[in-house]
C-alpha cells in the first residue's frame, strides 16, 4: 500500500489511484469504524478521512 496509505481516501478517487489499489481500498473499508462528515466515505483508519467521526 505504501504511499497510498498516506493519502486521504477521497484523494485516491481524484487521482485515479483507486483502480490500481482496489484490493487495499477494500481492506480499509470492510470493517469501517469511522465516517467522513465531509465526503461521506467510511474507513477503519480515521487518519485516512478528511473529517473523521467515530461510528456508533
Report the range of poorest mean pLDDT among 10-14, 29-33, 49-53: 10-14
The set of residues, in sequence order, having a beta carbon less than 8 Å from that of 34 and lying 6+ positions away, is 42, 43, 44, 45, 46, 49, 52, 53, 54, 55
Element (H, E) at 43: strand 42-43
Strands 52-54 and 42-43: unpaired
Backbone angles phi, psi at 47, to 5 degrees: -70, -20
Range of the domain at 15: 2-54
pLDDT class for 7, splitting at 50, 70, 90? confident
* pTM of the predicted model as reported, rounded to 2 decimal places: 0.74
What would the mean pLDDT of 8-13 be, rounded to a whole number?
77
Do 38 and 51 meet the contact criterion of CB atoms below 8 Å apart? yes
Domain count, the chain: 1
Residue 33 pLDDT grade (very low, low, confident, very high; cuts 50, 70, 90): very high
Amino acid at each position: 500500500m505504501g504511499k497510498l496509505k498516506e493519502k486521504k481516501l477521497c484523494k485516491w478517487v481524484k487521482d485515479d489511484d483507486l483502480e490500481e489499489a482496489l484490493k487495499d481500498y477494500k481492506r480499509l473499508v470492510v470493517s469501517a469504524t469511522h465516517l467522513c462528515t465531509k465526503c461521506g466515505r467510511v474507513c477503519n483508519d480515521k487518519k485516512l478521512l478528511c473529517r473523521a467521526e467515530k461510528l456508533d
